[in-house]
Amino acid sequence: MRPGHKAGKGRTIIINQVLFQKYRVLSLLGSGGSSSVYLAEHLKLEQYRAVKCIPKAQVRISTQYLEASLLKNLRHPGIPMIYDIEEDEMFLYIIEEYIQGESLSAFVQNHSNISQEIIVSFGIQLCGIIEYLHNQKPYPILYLDFKPEHIILCKSQLKLIDYGISSELKGNRTFQSHGTPGFAAPEQLNGCNLVLQTDVYGIGAILYYMLTKELVSSYFDAFHLFPKYCSLHFKKIIKKAISPEYKKRYENARELRKALMKHSFGRTDIQPNAHLLKKISIVGSQKHIGVTHIAISLVSWLNHQNQETYYESTRSSNLISSLTSYQDHLWEEHGVVRYHNFQAVTTSSFLTETKKSHIFVQDYGTDVGSVQGEENCDFLILVLGSRPWEIEYGLQACQALAGEEHLVLLCNYNDKQAAGKYASVLRKQVYYFPLDQDPFAWTKEKHQLFQEILKGRRR
């Protein structure tokens, strides 16, 4: 099959063609270099796909397959998924996830200024994507092609696209003039050996661009301007990330992510209390009242405050299956499931290694009996139903756990009235969890609630 016809500057247009009896090409999304990207519909699944069309005559065969081979086994919410690789006599076709959203370039240009909090949040996500790439086995993957056009904002999720010059880090690797000036590290542009810190520079350059709408100059100096609202600490983080000498940068994306998380707004308010935590148990008075949702939210929040925290379920051996009902882009690595600031352990060996030094939030479902008299628990959260027919079950659970020293009562569905009813009967403070669609997301309401719970524990 030879799709399409030629139109202008030798480019082949394949619109309205059906490729490989599966994909109907709908429109041209964009062109660059030697390839074009089209929007297509999978005929049977009725889902959109992005089809990258690469002429074989313009690039080497090995180069054509490089991006597809790097991405085909990767599973991360910030990385486009490769669904298929096809070819005919003239072209290679890479069938990818269709990313709908606004480019970071457009986002920056459409805002007079971007708050430091949003920039830090985007930076943490970007570090998470690069950290995942750098942790690949047997060789780390370097991204190398940072630019605002390659970062797509899909609601609350960043997507990093275009891996055409990405490469596995095998020994000393050099790439002369690859990358975009203003975002590529000096060693990348000068043909020197590349290291993990090469990508750290790219992240720092993106942070600087979001903050100033300016590119980092080829030779970094003290005259780079920062807006007045930029804190001194954040300025130091960026300067370290974009140091011309790679040895003076953060060692890797994880270290940069930790620095950004430590800097996140609101973190210092809970620091004196949270660092003493080791184990938090959460149980519900009955099924379907949000125990897992609240546990995920607490784990995500504590990690957002730079407190290394892991979720652990006592109920299901197939942890990933139970969690994907909340988010289908979770990814697993070395016994840990991750998504944004959330992480959960899946193996007993990992639990043994980490329980001494990190916080664990244990999800007991509705197994109230198992948490009675539990040792080494810093505090126990009992989730209570707020509907009229659920309150009786809630009171029974409260009675069963009445002797627990560090019991915290938490009513669901943001129901202040129901929380008040419980409090009047039990003569004990009852918190209420805000209405919340995304347990992985940071919100002001959840931040205030968890802070108050920790302060209540300290009293």
DSSP letters of 54-104? Answer: EETTTS-HHHHHHHHHHHTT---TTSPPEEEEEE-SSEEEEEEEPP-SEEH
CA dihedral 391, 396, 398, 402 (to 10 degrees): 160
The reply to whether domains 14-97 and 102-263 share a CATH topology is: no
Strand-pair partners of 73: none
The predicted pLDDT at position 130 comes to 96
What's the CA gap between 268 and 304, in Å, rounded? Answer: 11
Widest CA span in the chain: 79
Give the Cα separation of 447 and 335 in Å (integer). 28
- Strand pairing class (157-160; 151-154): antiparallel
Three-class SS state of 427: coil
- 14-97 has which CATH code? 3.30.200.20
pLDDT at position 318: 60
Q: Among all chains, which residue has been given the structure tokens 């960043």?
A: 158
**Strand (E) or helix (H) holding 320:** helix 319-323
d(CA 224, CA 216) in angstroms, rounded, equals 8
DSSP per residue, 225-292: ---TTS-HHHHHHHHHHT-SSGGGS-SSHHHHHHHHHHHSTTGGGTHHHHTT--EEEEEESSSSSSHH
**For the chain, domain boundaries:** 14-97, 102-263, 269-458
CB 295 within 8 A of CB 311: yes
Q: What letter would DSSP give residue 433?
A: P
Enter the CATH code of domain 102-263.
Answer: 1.10.510.10
Paired residues of 384 in beta bridges: 411
Q: Which residues contact 194 (CB under 8 A, 6 or more apart)?
A: 142, 144, 167, 169, 173, 174, 175, 187, 188
Query: Starting from the edge strand earliest in sequence, which strands make up the sheet with 151-154, in order?
Result: 102-103, 151-154, 157-160
**Mean pLDDT, the chain cut into blocks of 10 residues (459 residues total):** 43 79 91 82 93 78 66 85 87 89 92 86 93 91 94 87 86 69 91 93 96 80 73 91 94 93 57 64 94 94 83 73 68 77 74 63 92 82 94 92 88 92 92 92 90 72
Angle (CA) 264-268-272 rounded to 5° is: 145
Q: 269-458, superfamily in CATH?
A: P-loop containing nucleotide triphosphate hydrolases (3.40.50.300)
